[in-house]
Amino acid sequence: MPKRNPAIKFIMLTVMLDAMGIGLLIPVAPRLVQQLGGFTDSQAGPWVGGLNATYALALFIFSSLLGVLSDRFGRRPVLLAALLGSAIDYFVAAFAPSLLFLFITRAISGATGASVTVANAYIADVTPPDKRGAAFGMTMAAFGLGFVFGPLLGGVLGDPTQSLPFLGHGDIRYPFIAAGTLTLANWCYGLFIVPESLTPARRAPLRLARANPIGAFRGLKHYPLVRELGLALFFLSMAQYALHATWVLYTGHRFKWTERDVGLSLFAVGLATFFVQGVLAGKIIAKIGERRTLMLGSALSVLAYAGYGTAWEGWMMFVVIGYGCFAGISQPALQAMITKTVRPDEQGATQGALTGLTSVAAILGPPAGGLIFEYFTEHPEWYIPGASFYLSALLSGTGAVVAWHAVRQGRHLASGQKDVIANAAHQPLGEAARESTPVGDQGG
């Protein structure tokens, strides 16, 4: 037990550095698409959405495979391989000569970018069920902390109006080089510091059917709570990814924000998210419970998306960020509810399936957001620049309704069920699967 706390710190730093690498690109990737394609803000919407969807499609195809491989061979080697691949790809993308080349690098990055699957399974390995809500909150806070500095640094490095020491003026390709450097440092840290979390006795056989991104979803059939909450996660994630595709274009179109301005806005988002998920999430979950926390966070997300779409001055976006960040309390609660339902030797595969669900949302969300943004900014008779955010509000509201239905049916673990799952790894697979089915299915 004493070794578990350092292990959590190790994985949190890994997640934070990974997030910084991703965050560096957010303020500049849409501008690189515009530069390579010669697009206006409106015209770039579908292309930016397509670029994000390409990454997500590759992530979807490979996320389940990484989860299953980590259940068989351990979390550490799979995590290291994914990080090294991402680092190399960032460096290659920095010199993309065309849109096609950029799309290819994003596909490769998606294939190696499913490390969050393994990180979530790592957390489930080293924390007891009653502490996982707080642990996931801290891990997401580390991810948020990466987004505090990543987009801010990316916005400064990528803004051509900024004067940089030794580099002259900023360039939209510099953040790609910085992302590769950080990810490579992350890989080195993991290679020399991060210990393995999954003991040989708890490893599962390699089941190829679970490595299939579609077949992985069949592994959720024993867990009704996971199925329903996974569907809620799908809609909530789709809303968020639709926003990702249009944030830079929307703020540039409506408020004339530069790369630096976008970086500052995302700095505010990351700072607020870090505080909420790192300081408040565990306390809120302990105070009102996982189910109420999930519902509260989902409702706040709807209000936040509506607020972004309605704002008519740039400063109003920061006001919405101030309350919208509290929507982040929903995901730690949702993850904690899910992991309490799943056997120890299936945590990786389950997290892979959930990552697959969010990847499908990431495939569909950005093109939807980009197309909506293009249509409602290119046609004067239907000029509603915030339409893509209203779409996100609708999707988030749908997710909230699905989550409400799940918790209303009482599909959660009874107190005695925790012991069944804790001991499931020592039982035959068929027997353990039967006993780990939530008692809510029996009318509880």
pLDDT at residue number 395: 93
> In 3D, which of 187, 192, 197, 137 has the Cα closest to residue 7?
197
Taking residues 80-94, report their average pLDDT: 86
Give the per-residue pLDDT at 347.
Answer: 66
pLDDT tens profile 284-307: 888 888 788 888 888 888 999 999
- Which tokens belong to 398? 């749908």
C-beta separation of 151 from 262 below 8 A:
yes
At 45, is the pLDDT very low, low, confident or very high (cuts 50, 70, 90)?
confident
pLDDT of residue 392: 92
Of 51-60, 124-133, 205-214, 252-261, the range with the lowest mean pLDDT is 205-214
Higher pLDDT, 435 or 20: 20
* pLDDT over 90 (residue 394): yes
Query: Measuring CA to CA, which residue among 287, 297, 243 is closest to residue 265?
Result: 243
pLDDT tens for each residue of 173-188:
888 898 888 888 878 8
How is residue 72 written in tokens? 């068989």
State both tokens at 381: 């008779």
Q: What is the pLDDT of residue 5?
A: 53
Q: What is the rounded (10 degree) CA torsion for 249, 297, 138, 236?
A: -50
pLDDT at 209: 62
Confirm whether pTM is higher than 0.95. no
The average confidence (pLDDT) of the chain is 78
Token pair recorded at residue 201: 């006795």
Closest CA to 229 of 358, 406, 352, 349: 406
Whether residue 52 is predicted with pLDDT greater than 80 in this model: the reply is: yes
What's the CA gap between 58 and 64, in Å, rounded?
11
Report the pLDDT value the prediction gives residue 437, as an integer from 0 to 100: 38
Predicted local confidence at residue 219, as pLDDT:
59
Q: Using 50, 70 and 90 to split pLDDT, how confident is the model at 429?
A: very low
pLDDT band, very low/low/confident/very high, at 339 (cuts 50, 70, 90) = confident
Q: What is the pLDDT of residues 95-119, one digit of tens each?
A: 888 999 899 988 888 887 767 778 7
Name, of 117-131, 302-316, 410-424, the range with top average pLDDT.
302-316
Per-residue confidence band for 221, with pLDDT thresholds at 50, 70 and 90? low
CA distance 262 to 414: 46
Confidence of residue 391 (pLDDT cuts 50, 70, 90): very high
Write down the pLDDT at residue 420: 40
Number of H helices and number of E strands within the chain?
19, 2
Q: Which of 106, 113, 59 is nearest to 85 (CA)?
A: 113
Give CA–CA dist 105/388, Å, rounded.
27
Dist CA 360 CA 231 (whole Å): 11
Q: What is the pLDDT of residue 40?
A: 85
Rg (CA), the chain: 21
User: What per-residue confidence (pLDDT) applies to 259?
Assistant: 83
| Cα distance between residue 413 and residue 324, in whole Å | 30
Q: Is the pLDDT of residue 79 over 60?
A: yes
Residue 33: half-sphere exposure toward Cβ, Cα within 13 Å: 26
| Residue 358, both tokens | 């969010």
Residue 317 exposed, middle or buried by CB count within 10 Å (0-12, 13-18, 19+)? buried
CA distances from 314 to 31, 58, 310, 350, 357 (A): 19, 35, 11, 41, 33
- Per cent of the chain over pLDDT 90 is 5
Instruction: Give the residue ranges of DSSP H helices in 256-313.
Output: 259-275, 281-288, 290-310
Q: Which amino acid is at 161?
A: T
Confidence of residue 431 (pLDDT cuts 50, 70, 90): very low
Alpha helix locations (H) across 379-412?
A: 387-408
Q: Summarize the confidence of residues 232-242 as an average pLDDT.
A: 88
Label residue 433 by pLDDT band (50, 70, 90). very low
Please identify which residue in the block is written with the tokens 């929903």: 330
